[in-house]
């Protein structure tokens, strides 16, 4: 067998052919990756739709099975209408403004939700929230959102401080504790923020940190009372994580409501 002598021309042609093969392989690989990403996106959308449908079914079931009443305190949040809409899927709402809320308003309800704010601040005008401090410590299930979170922290002696800059928009949040309020929520998730004040550290021994961001503590629960607070806005987060926070809180309330109803019927 005669060995063909290599010339600069044949070497160049072989190199060109090799480069074409590499380019074709890279193109094919890129197309495969894109196809996989499209499939992944479609799967995530399908999953999201199914979870949304499940939440809608659960919310209808919750309203049909439990005649729950929730006291919703309006602390002048720009997202108040969204919070109201989310909660109304699960229970009847009794809405009271910040200026009018009293501890006795809790007597006819099964849970309380403290909305975000914007008009007042717990560190600058702490006396504006004196009745809400009492509600937080009363033993009724409470969920505090944004300013509501800060009201909870302040009520239990934790410092609420002005942050170096206003936190606005979607933020990356990391779960650091396991709790029923964050059930079925990923370790890392995005949520809507809108605040200039926050809680950096816990100095007392009454609250437990459940989630953090790069800026501040994002979620807490009380060690013995059914009290939870989230610094972010689940009602405005436009994802399943936000919806699940509210849904999980409702599930907690349902169990307590069911126990109380059973006791009354005995």
Mean pLDDT computed over 160-168? 92
Tell me, letter by letter, the H, E, C secondary structure of 189-228: EEEEEEEEEECCCCCCCCEEEEEECCCCEEEEEECCCCEE
Mean pLDDT computed over 133-137? 97
| pLDDT at site 27 | 84
For the question of residue 146 being annotated catalytic, the response is: yes
What pTM, to 2 d.p., does this model score?
0.74
For the question of residue 253 being annotated catalytic, the response is: no
Judge whether residue 64 has pLDDT over 50. no
Catalytic residue among 131, 158, 171, 235: 235
pLDDT category at 151 given cuts 50, 70, 90 is: very high
Cα(159)–Cα(140) distance, integer angstroms? 23
Catalytic residue among 195, 233, 247, 253: 233
| pLDDT at site 266 | 36
Closest CA to 249 of 156, 111, 149: 111
| pLDDT at site 260 | 57
Coil, strand or helix: which one is 154?
Answer: helix
Judge whether residue 7 has pLDDT over 60. yes
Catalytic residue among 106, 146, 216, 253: 146
| pLDDT at site 5 | 65
| pLDDT at site 198 | 96
Class of domain 67-265 (CATH, top level) = alpha beta
Q: Domain spans of the chain?
A: 1-65, 67-265
Judge whether residue 48 has pLDDT over 60. no
| pLDDT at site 4 | 60
Sequence-ordered alpha helix ranges (H) in 66-106:
80-87
For the question of residue 233 being annotated catalytic, the response is: yes
Closest CA to 179 of 83, 256, 91, 249: 249
């Amino acid at each position: 067998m005669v060995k063909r002598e290599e010339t600069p021309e044949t070497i160049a042609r072989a190199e060109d052919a090799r480069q074409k093969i590499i380019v074709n392989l890279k193109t094919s690989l890129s197309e495969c990756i894109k196809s996989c990403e499209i499939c992944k996106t479609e799967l995530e959308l399908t999953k999201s739709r199914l979870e949304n449908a499940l939440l809608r079914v659960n919310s209808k079931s919750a309203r049909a099975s439990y005649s729950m009443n929730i006291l919703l305190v309006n602390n002048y949040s720009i997202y108040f209408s969204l919070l109201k809409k989310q909660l109304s899927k699960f229970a009847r709402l009794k809405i009271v403004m910040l200026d009018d809320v009293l501890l006795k308003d809790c007597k006819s309800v099964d849970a309380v939700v403290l909305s975000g704010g914007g008009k007042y601040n717990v560190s600058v005008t702490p006396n504006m929230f004196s009745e809400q401090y009492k509600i937080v410590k009363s033993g009724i299930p409470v969920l505090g959102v944004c300013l509501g979170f800060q009201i909870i922290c302040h009520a239990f002696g934790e410092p609420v401080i002005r942050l170096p800059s206003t936190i606005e928009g979607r933020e990356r949040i990391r779960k650091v504790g396991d709790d029923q309020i964050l059930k079925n929520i990923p370790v890392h998730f995005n949520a809507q923020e809108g605040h200039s004040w926050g809680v950096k550290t816990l100095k007392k021994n009454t609250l437990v940190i459940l989630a953090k961001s790069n800026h501040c503590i994002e979620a807490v629960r009380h060690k013995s009372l059914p009290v939870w607070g989230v610094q972010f806005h689940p009602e405005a987060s436009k994802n399943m994580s936000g919806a699940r926070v509210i849904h999980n809180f409702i599930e907690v309330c349902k169990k307590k409501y069911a126990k109380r109803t059973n006791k009354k019927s005995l």
